[in-house]
Amino acid sequence: MENTYNPVEIEKKWQKRWAEDNLYKVSEHSDRPKWYALTMFPYTSGDLHIGHWYAMAPSDVHARFKRMQGFNVLHPVGFDAFGLPAENAAIKRGIHPYQWTMKNVENMRKQLKTIGAIYDWDREVITCQPDYYKWTQWFFLKLYEHGLAYRNRAPVNWCPKCQTVLANEQVLANGTCERCDEPVIRKDLEQWFFRITKYADELMQHEGLDWPERIKTMQHNWVGKSIGTEISFGLDIAGVPEKGIKVFTTRADTVYGVTFMVLAPENPLVAKITTPDRKAAVEEYIAKTRRFTEIERLSTEKEKDGVFTGAYVTNRLNGDKVPVWIADYVLAGYGTGAVMAVPAHDERDFAFAKKYNLPIKVVISPPEWKGQELEEAFIEDGTMVNSGHFDGTHNREGIIKVSELLEEKGWGKRTVSYKLRDWLISRQRYWGAPIPMIYCDKCGIVPVPE
């Protein structure tokens, strides 16, 4: 009898015995209570690493614990087999992604079996196999049937040399493609979306969820619910059918202090309202903006800049003509793609106004303010001034009263806005679950019959 433990020999012996006895094969007809234990499937990168054991060993311990408690435990196993890394690896080697993926599955399956987990290998799934992704496609069709999957234009990362869409992770810190070092641009393409914004309020209902408070806070901030007012500024330009530009604000009390408006460079209105003398500068700025990711554009470290379009809108409450600019810190996908700028009471607007010598109009009085020029934006509460018959009103009350007046005049409405955006799920790549839609010259885009 050996006095030393030889894991290779001993575990190999017992794992062979377990397999022969079908020890972990799950019956669907057992009288025991059911327990489903699912661990995230590993990606088919080729080799398992310590991170896989970190995730899989504890989950297997829990599955065994439930089995010992008398449950009929279903602990499936599988491989996440689609995605860009496999496609890129296949391109590099000059082979089909399926060959590369299945070779990795074979190796990882062999490695995974050495853990001795209570997986029922008869229930293995591989996500690039049609018998699996047909259900992905079925879910898509059901979402489309209920109006929750739709197609729209959206900006993506585009490599001009590789002629392909890139994930954010494939764009290097210097803004170039990780594969060819070509500068990456932002380009508008037709994309498929899931309408997750329909469930924004439900995603903020955490009652009964046993989640850590920090996770609840993260989800709350991710959804980003804001209650405010949508205000329409008058637009009167020959040949432009739109008669107003809408903005969303939580600070209707500051609307009398608007001295300029900023549109996202991607806003479709930009091309319509830009005057001929400003066209070259606007187009140059838009082209420059496309080289930045949204994260870069919103960075607090990036200096805010912009370009005047030559157009003006009218603040309907006081009749002021307000110049319309474009700036990369405004995103087309957030709110209405347009913001009203009140530099006296917003730090970002204040810096922008100072840079471009735009007016700064105080409408919430700082303590002991005597009309002097502000050295910085006043962002606290106070009394409304320079605001017509609302002068003397506390600004918190003013938010309500100004909103009521806008609704009464038909120039605005109280509404709710969310930072959450619909989920862009399509990628112009080969190695992924095919979107089950047919593109017909006669009928247009129609779903694949079930």
Over residues 200-240, the pLDDT tens digits come to 999 999 888 899 999 999 999 999 999 999 999 999 999 99
Asked whether residue 114 falls in the same domain as residue 147, the answer is no
**Would 209 be classed as within a structural domain?**
no
Asked whether residue 231 falls in the same domain as residue 178, the answer is no
* Structural domains of the chain, count: 3
Asked whether residue 16 falls in the same domain as residue 162, the answer is no
Asked whether residue 244 falls in the same domain as residue 346, the answer is yes
Measure Cα distances from 35 to 70, 79, 120, 304 in Å: 10, 21, 13, 55
Of 87 and 257, more confident: 257
Euclidean distance between CA atoms 422 and 208, whole angstroms: 26
How far is C-alpha 283 from the geometric centre of its chain's CA atoms? 26
Task: Say which residue the tokens 């890139």 belong to.
Answer: 166
Euclidean distance between CA atoms 46 and 28, whole angstroms: 33
What number is the average pLDDT over the span 103-108? 95
Which range is least confidently modeled, 58-72, 170-184, 200-214? 170-184
Q: Which domain holds residue 153?
A: 139-195+424-447
**Would 208 be classed as within a structural domain?**
no
Q: What is the percent of the chain where pLDDT is above 90?
A: 64
What number is the average pLDDT over the span 77-99? 91
Interhelix angle 97-113/84-93, nearest 10 degrees: 120
Q: Convert the pLDDT of each residue in 382-405 to its tens digit.
A: 999 999 999 999 999 999 999 999
**Would 133 be classed as within a structural domain?**
no
Asked whether residue 327 falls in the same domain as residue 359, the answer is yes
Residues linked to residue 205 through DSSP beta bridges, in sequence order: none
Write out the two tokens for 126.
Answer: 């591989």
What number is the average pLDDT over the span 84-107? 92
**Would 322 be classed as within a structural domain?**
yes
Task: Say which residue the tokens 């997750």 belong to.
Answer: 196
